[in-house]
Amino acid sequence: MGGRTSTAAADATAALRRAMFEAAWRLIEEAGGLTVTLDHLPLDRVIRAAGASRTSVYREWPSREAFYADLLVELAGPAVQGVGAVDDPSATLARKLLPDHLGRLGTPEQRRAAVWAIGREVASTSYRAIAESPQWKIFLVLAVSAISSGSEQRERVVEALRASEREWTDRFAEMLEDLCTVLGFRPRPGFDLHHVAAIGSGVVEGMVLQSLLTPEVLGREIEIDGPDGVQLWHPAAFSYLAVVDAHLEPVPDYDPTRAVSEYLKTLAVRETATLRRR
């Protein structure tokens, strides 16, 4: 009996925390994003929005400050931040575009052109997603706030931010692994795909931040003569591809049939693992 009671209590607490955090997130979005303080987010308003009992809330968080401390950690973590700069639509787009370039596997030059063609679309999509993302703006505010403080709360927020970055880097590296497998590339000696993922993120996110300050320079596309001829490129996409290209090299013993087969097997393994988790 005691075990069932404790399990029910734990479930109720988890449901309360989820409802409060989701309500707070909705209110933050309605307010236009997070500021350096949470003064614009009264706890009573969050309680009403969550449909929660004040008694239950104050049992879980004895003070407003205690709730805000947990909320900041939640906002910094993967549950809110998701996958960072490479969101699911971008990763899905990369895999959707890949079959369109299977006719370009004959030479390293053709395969490199395919990398640039796919990367141009993916990086442009990622750039727009970051620029429009309230999560990214929250990430930025929390990162700056964490750097400027030295409390135990800072360490909790920093660890949550790091967890978000790790999850994003893993997802980005997985996407790059798929492209490199099919198109016959590998990281240059001394690097791995997690390096490329982190460096690529720095380029795209840095360009988003810079565009807020110099929109007249970075807010428009430019005609560039790339591997597929003259095309309109967003500066962030071209810069991203230049960096990625510098960190990759052709696989010497590349075999297109074997590469595509390996890629399809990898997709099947992932799909099986996803189904088992459900």
Q: Which of 2-11, 32-41, 238-247, 268-277 is most confident?
A: 238-247
- Tell me the sheet residues that pair with 187: 248
Confidence of residue 201 (pLDDT cuts 50, 70, 90): confident
d(CA 114, CA 104): 7
* Mean pLDDT of the 182-211 span: 93
Element (H, E) at 39: none
Q: How far apart are the first and last CA of the chain?
A: 29
For CA atoms 176, 178, 181, 182, the dihedral sign is negative
* Amino acid (1-letter code) at residue 244: V
Decide if pLDDT at 60 tops 90: yes
* Amino acid (1-letter code) at residue 133: S
Give the pair of three-digit tokens for residue 93.
């787009």
Which range is least confidently modeled, 191-200, 240-249, 263-272?
A: 263-272
At 196, phi and psi to the nearest 5? -65, -40
d(CA 221, CA 22): 37
* Mean pLDDT of the 109-128 span: 93
Question: DSSP H helical segments within the chain, as ranges?
Answer: 2-30, 43-50, 54-60, 64-76, 78-81, 88-97, 108-131, 134-147, 152-183, 193-213, 215-218, 235-246, 256-277
Q: Cα–Cα distances in Å, from 113 out to 97, 182, 244, 261?
A: 13, 13, 13, 21
d(CA 107, CA 147): 47
Decide if pLDDT at 248 tops 90: yes
Q: How far is CA 87 from the centre of its chain?
A: 5
Mean pLDDT for the chain? 86
Domains (range + CATH), the chain? 2-71 (no CATH), 79-277 (1.10.357)
Give the model confidence (pLDDT) of 123-146 as tens digits: 998 888 888 887 888 887 787 776
d(CA 205, CA 129): 10
Which range is least confidently modeled, 131-135, 199-203, 257-261?
A: 131-135
Confidence of residue 72 (pLDDT cuts 50, 70, 90): confident
Q: Which residues of 148-165 are buried (b: 16+ CB within 10 A; e: fewer)?
A: eeeeebeebbbebbebbb
Which range is least confidently modeled, 97-101, 136-140, 218-222, 254-258?
A: 136-140
d(CA 159, CA 175): 24
Give the model confidence (pLDDT) of 153-193 as tens digits: 788 888 888 888 888 888 889 999 999 999 999 999 999 99
What is the structure's pLDDT at 5? Answer: 61
What is the structure's pLDDT at 116? Answer: 95
Task: Please indicate whether residue 51 or residue 217 has the higher confidence score (pLDDT).
Answer: 51
Strand 222-226, strand 229-233: pairing: antiparallel
